[in-house]
Amino acid sequence: MRRVQAVLAFAVFGLVSGPVETHADVRTTTDSDGGKAITVHGLIQRNDVDQLNALIRTKRPGGIRLNSTGGDVMAAMELGRLLRDEKLTAFLFSKDTCVSACVFVLAGAPTRIVLGGSTVGIHRPFLSRDVATTEEQQKEQYQHIERLVKNYLAEMNVDSRLYDDMFRVSPLKVKYLTEDEREAYGLGQHDPFEEQAYLARRAKRLGISLQELLRRRAEANVTCKSNNGLDCLMSIELGISRTEYLRREALADKVCPSYPEEQQDRCYFDIMDGLKK
């Protein structure tokens, strides 16, 4: 009997501890079009927050790529708040994974791109150095964790059921979420309030009503179904011909590289939206 108990204790310890990592690998990457992104790979720890914050300030990335098996819950929520404050998109590419505490980072992003072949998984959050050895101590400890996590999820407009369902999954296991489940929790592509605010800003920038913007986008979705080119989609949204769209694009490609790097995106969008001739 003692041998069985010893084997079980060893198995549990090994499964919970997982790989020994001191922090995530946080680095800047550049895609083929020259766009910058930051990749967070591995176990998330407190010192990763400061590193990511510094990279965001200096590199001004378009998004954050997540490929993490979890880590420190408090650090993950801080990273999520950082993504929300900076309006950064979270990406998961094919074969990337975002499990455990990483889901809190994903929840913080106002826009989330989860591509096919990637996985998002949940289980009960736990402390890496848990000293609560009685049921009563664990109950008190998890009541505190629940308050912190549910307040965070409410802040990010994500359903508090996410925590409830996390809690029911042992840290020895992972429940992988389907796209429908992510949507039901509020972990879909767009935060609804952020999306609505963006649409309102977009309509104001183009000098049209929100209703007209939605009408144009609906038209583009139908018209451009067999022609997925950006010029088809954007020319309809802008209310211009495809020829005019291509003219603006050529002008932007000619003019904007002469601007300081931090002003080039603004130059491009101003020309494309017809705000700069």
| Digit-coded pLDDT (tens) for 159-192 | 999 999 999 999 999 999 999 999 999 998 888 9
Mean pLDDT of 81-105: 94
Torsion angle defined by CA atoms of residues 196, 200, 203 and 206, in that order, rounded to the nearest 10 degrees: -120
Count the helices and strands in the chain (H runs, E runs): 12, 8
- The CATH number given to 2-190 is 3.90.226.10
Q: Whole-prediction pTM value?
A: 0.76
Among 9-13, 152-156, 210-214, where is mean pLDDT lowest? Answer: 9-13
User: Which residue carries 């495809």 as its tokens?
Assistant: 242
SS3 66: strand
List the domain boundaries for the chain: 2-190, 193-272
| CA–CA gap between residue 228 and residue 224 (Å, rounded) | 6
Mean pLDDT of 67-79: 93
H-helix or E-strand spanning residue 57: helix 46-59
Kindly tell me if the per-residue pLDDT of 3 is higher than 70: no
Tokens of 233: 């989609």
Estimate the share of the chain in helix, then strand, then coil, as percent rounded to the nearest 5: 55, 15, 30
Tokens of 106: 């994903």
Q: Residue 7 has what pLDDT?
A: 29
| CA–CA gap between residue 272 and residue 249 (Å, rounded) | 6
Range 127-139 burial, b when 16+ CB lie within 10 A, else e: eeeeeeeeeeeee
Tokens of 243: 């020829």
Mean pLDDT of 219-231: 82
For 14-56, the pLDDT digits (tens) are: 223 233 344 556 655 555 445 567 888 888 988 888 888 888 8
Tokens of 246: 């291509």
CB 152 within 8 A of CB 77: yes
CB 101 within 8 A of CB 72: yes
Tokens of 101: 């505490």
Residue 182: count of CB within 10 angstroms of its CB: 18
Q: Residue 33 has what pLDDT?
A: 47
| CA–CA gap between residue 266 and residue 259 (Å, rounded) | 10
Mean pLDDT of 128-150: 91
What percent of the chain has pLDDT above 70?
A: 86
